[in-house]
């Protein structure tokens, strides 16, 4: 379960991030959105997680109900978070769980993006892309995402190429796209999907657990395929361990080569690394414009 209190820690952590980077996270998109600007738009009912500073106390005095003031503002950037929900993401124990770790990375981007008065979209990718945010880029919106993600169990083998290609058709201006996945797919299909996102700045976070990168199994062991529930009992060690290591690193190198051919520098994220260290690597990389074509 994702504990939303990590967002409060992220607020404190963001203070140090801002000291490290003075480059604003800016994009080419400018659109009229509801946010924290100066022109009053309308009211909506208060929900848990909303900023209490936006409560209209005069309206409360008249109605004895809590309403939030909404304002029109210009937003500079849309951040699209695409989170892999296939069965292979349901791996790892506790804080090392891949889906939970990856979800927190995506939620962190949404939270700090909203804090900078920019817009986020949050979608799940499996067989297709399924947008789950409410369209309101706010802390309350992020908390509702936490609730939805805590009710979700990753499953299925997915189609990353189709998911990314389908989602690319929904992006109508240059944006930052954050793809969070273990990338346990065919490298050519990954490349085709990422190529469809051309014209945007693309950040790829490949989330893997230490048990996948350096399995501790030895001797007689049972391996389970999370996408099919098939199991196999075999001796793991010696030649089998070396073959596993070779196939894993061949796969990682193939993904890196295909990403770099597209001008993307993928980040390998280990779930045994402190979350805030991993997040700062990704966030500062975006803020400092270290990815292709961002300014």
The DSSP element (H or E) to which 63 belongs, if any, is helix 57-63
Domain membership of residue 82 as a residue range: 6-30+77-287
For residues 44-62, give the mean pLDDT. 76
**Whether residue 137 has pLDDT greater than 50:** yes
Token pair of 250, please? 């061949």
**133 with 230, same domain?**
yes
Residues in the chain: 295
How many domains is the chain partitioned into structurally?
Answer: 2
Instruction: Please work out, in degrees rounded to the nearest 5, the angle formed at the alpha carbon of residue 119 by the alpha carbons of 23 and 16.
Output: 40
Supply the CATH number for residue 282's domain.
Answer: 3.40.50.410
**57 with 159, same domain?**
no
pLDDT tens digit sequence for 18-29: 655 544 444 444
Q: Which of 46-55, 222-231, 255-264 has the highest mean pLDDT?
A: 255-264
DSSP 3-state assignment of 221? strand
- Give the pLDDT score at 208: 97
Tell how far CA 286 is from the center of its chain: 13
- In Å, what is the CA distance from 148 to each residue of 85, 141, 222? 13, 11, 33
Query: What's the pLDDT band for 258 if we cut at 50, 70, 90?
Result: very high
For residues 167-180, give the mean pLDDT. 93
Query: What's the pLDDT band for 236 if we cut at 50, 70, 90?
Result: low
pLDDT tens digit sequence for 31-45: 334 444 444 556 677
**Whether residue 59 has pLDDT greater than 90:** no
Query: What's the pLDDT band for 252 if we cut at 50, 70, 90?
Result: very high
For residues 50-65, give the mean pLDDT. 79
236: in domain:
yes
1: in domain:
no
**106 with 204, same domain?**
yes
Q: Which residues pair with 221 in a beta bridge?
A: 234
């Amino acid at each position: 379960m994702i504990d939303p209190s990590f967002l409060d820690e992220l607020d404190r952590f963001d203070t140090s991030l801002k000291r490290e980077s003075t480059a604003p996270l800016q994009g080419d998109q400018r659109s009229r959105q509801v946010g924290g600007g100066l022109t009053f738009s309308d009211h909506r009912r208060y929900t848990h997680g909303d900023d209490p500073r936006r409560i209209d106390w005069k309206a409360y005095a008249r109605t004895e109900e809590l309403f939030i003031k909404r304002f029109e503002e210009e937003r500079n950037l849309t951040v699209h978070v695409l989170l892999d929900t296939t069965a292979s993401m349901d791996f790892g124990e506790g804080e090392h769980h891949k889906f939970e770790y990856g979800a927190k990375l995506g939620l962190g981007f949404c939270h700090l993006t909203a804090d900078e008065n920019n817009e986020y979209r949050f979608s799940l990718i499996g067989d297709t892309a399924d947008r789950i945010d409410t369209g309101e880029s706010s802390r309350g919106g992020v908390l509702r995402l936490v609730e939805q993600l805590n009710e979700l169990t990753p499953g299925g083998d997915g189609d990353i190429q189709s998911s990314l290609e389908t989602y690319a058709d929904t992006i109508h201006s240059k944006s930052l796209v954050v793809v969070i996945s273990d990338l346990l797919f065919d490298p050519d299909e990954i490349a085709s999907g990422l190529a469809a996102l051309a014209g945007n700045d693309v950040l790829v976070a490949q989330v893997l657990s230490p048990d996948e990168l350096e399995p501790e199994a030895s001797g007689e062991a049972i391996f389970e395929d999370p996408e099919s529930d098939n199991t196999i009992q075999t001796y793991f060690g010696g030649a089998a361990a070396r073959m596993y290591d070779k196939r894993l690193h061949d796969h990682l190198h193939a993904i890196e080569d295909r990403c770099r051919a597209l001008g993307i520098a993928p980040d390998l994220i280990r779930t045994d690394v402190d979350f805030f260290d991993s997040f700062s690597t990704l966030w500062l990389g975006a803020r400092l414009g270290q990815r292709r074509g961002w300014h």
